[in-house]
Amino acid sequence: MTRPLSVAVAGLGTVGAGVLTVLRDNAELVAARAGRPIAVTAISARDRSRDRGVPLGGLRWYDDPVALAADPAVDVVVEVIGGSEGPARELVRAALEQRKPVATANKALMAVHGAELAALAERAGVPLAFEAAVAGGIPVIKALREGLAANRISRVAGILNGTCNYILTVMRERGREFAEVLADAQKLGYAEADPSFDVDGIDAAHKLAILAALAFGRPVAFEAVHVEGIRAISALDIGFAGEFGYRIKLLGIARQTEGGIEARVHPCMVPQASPLAGVDGVFNAVVAEGDFVGRVMLEGRGAGAGPTASAVVADLIDIARGRTTPVWGAASGALSDAPSVPMSEHFGAYYLRLMVVDRPGVIADVTAVLRDSGISLESMLQRGRAPGESVPVVLVTHETNEAAMRAALLRIAALDAVLEAPTLIRIEPA
C-alpha cells in the first residue's frame, strides 16, 4: 500500500477537531480520492486536558505549534489556530521554509500576509492551500482559481458572514432591533462574546480581499477594502427596504472598473428578485460574473466544524494527489498591478433615511441640498403626520458619486430640523 500522507494539525478547536473527525469517519472514501491514506500523526493545542470529542491517543503532541514544521515525520501542516499574527503566521512561515505543504482555514492570515506567504510557497515549490478560509464548505476558492480560470471576472459579490446574515434575517422576519437579535445570536452560539469582527464587517473584508485577489489575479490587498458593518441598521430601515422592493444584506463586492479594482464591504439594499436576497440565516453565498461563463452562484454553510473541515480535507486530498495551482492563480510575476479604486469614486444609487421635525419647508431644505450637489431623486416616502414631532423621511436617489453623496450628507445632517445622524445604505443592482 502507498505510504499514508502524514499530517500535523495545529489548533484543536471546532475546526481542528472537525478535521480529525472527517478523516476518521470518511477514511476509506478520502483514501480512495487521495490515492493514499491521509493520517493525522501530530497535533498541537494549548490545553492537553480538554476533551475535544475525538480520540487523540498515539498522536505526537507539541506544546509549541511551530515545532510541528520541524517534525521530520510530518509531510503536511494544517493550520487552524486563527489570527493574522503570532503562532499561526510563524507556523505557516516555518512550514513553507521547510518545504512542507500547508493547508489553512485562516482568512485573516491570508488576507493580511497572503502576498508574503504566496511568495514563500512559490520559492519553496510547495502548495499553500486555503479553501477553508472563505465561505466554509463552499468550494469558492477552487471555483474562482480553477473552474473559472478561462474567464475574465468582472465582478464577485457575496454574503460572506453568517452571523450578520442571521441577524439581518431575524430582524426582517420578526421586526426586532439589532441589539436584541445580537444578544440572542450570542446565546445560540452564532455570534462570539466579542462580535466586533463579525458585525463590524472585518471578517467579511478578510474574505473579500482573498476573493478579489483570486478573481482579478492581483496580490491580496486587505488594506484597500472599504469596510462598514451592520450596527447602524434598524428594524425601521428593514421595513422601508421591503416597501421599496429590497432586502438588506451585508455584502462583500469586488469589481473591475476602468480605473482599477473596487473592493467594499457594507450593508446593501438588493432587489428581492436577486438570488442573494433569498439567502437567509447563517448561509453564505458568492456570485461571480465571467466574460464567457456569465453569472455563477455558489451557496451553502459558511462556517462550523463540518463545512470548514470538509474544505480543509479537500485541500489535503489535492496535496496528496500532487495537484497544485499558484496561490493567487498565476505566478507572482504574472499578477496584475491594477490599482485600488477609493470608495469616494464609487458610483451608485442610495437609500437615505432622515428623522426630521414635521414642519413646513423641511423637505424643500433637504432636496435643495441634494440639488446643489447634483443628486437627483428617484422616489421619496413619508408615512403619516406628526406636526412638531419627529417623523421618518426616506429618499432614494438615482445613481450618483459617493463623494458627492457624502458631502451632501454632511450638509443635511447640519440642518436644524434633522434630529439624528442620517442613515445611508447603498443600493446594489441584482
Q: Exactly one of 100, 107, 142, 207 is catalytic; which is it?
A: 207
Closest CA to 75 of 11, 7, 128: 7
Buried b (16+ CB within 10 A) or exposed e, 245-280: ebbbbbbbbbbbeeebbbbbbbbbbbeeebebbebb
Contacts of 165 (CB under 8 A, 6+ apart): 159, 249, 250, 279, 280, 281, 282, 283, 284
Whole-number Å distance between alpha carbons of 205 and 161:
9
Pairing state between β 76-79 and 102-104: parallel
Contacts of 37 (CB under 8 A, 6+ apart): 1, 2, 4, 5, 27, 30, 31
Whole-number Å distance between alpha carbons of 303 and 307:
6
The one-letter code for the residue type at 101 is P
Contact (Cβ atoms closer than 8 angstroms) between residue 353 and residue 393:
yes
Contacts of 98 (CB under 8 A, 6+ apart): 69, 70
Give CA separation, 71 vs 36, 61, 244, in Å: 21, 11, 60
The one-letter code for the residue type at 151 is N
Pairing state between β 260-271 and 423-427: parallel
The one-letter code for the residue type at 209 is A
DSSP-derived 3-state class of residue 298: strand
Is residue 207 flagged as an active site residue? yes
Determine phi and psi for 306, rounding to 5 degrees: -65, -55
Whole-number Å distance between alpha carbons of 394 and 378:
11
Cell 469582527 belongs to which residue? 197
* Residues with a known catalytic role: 207
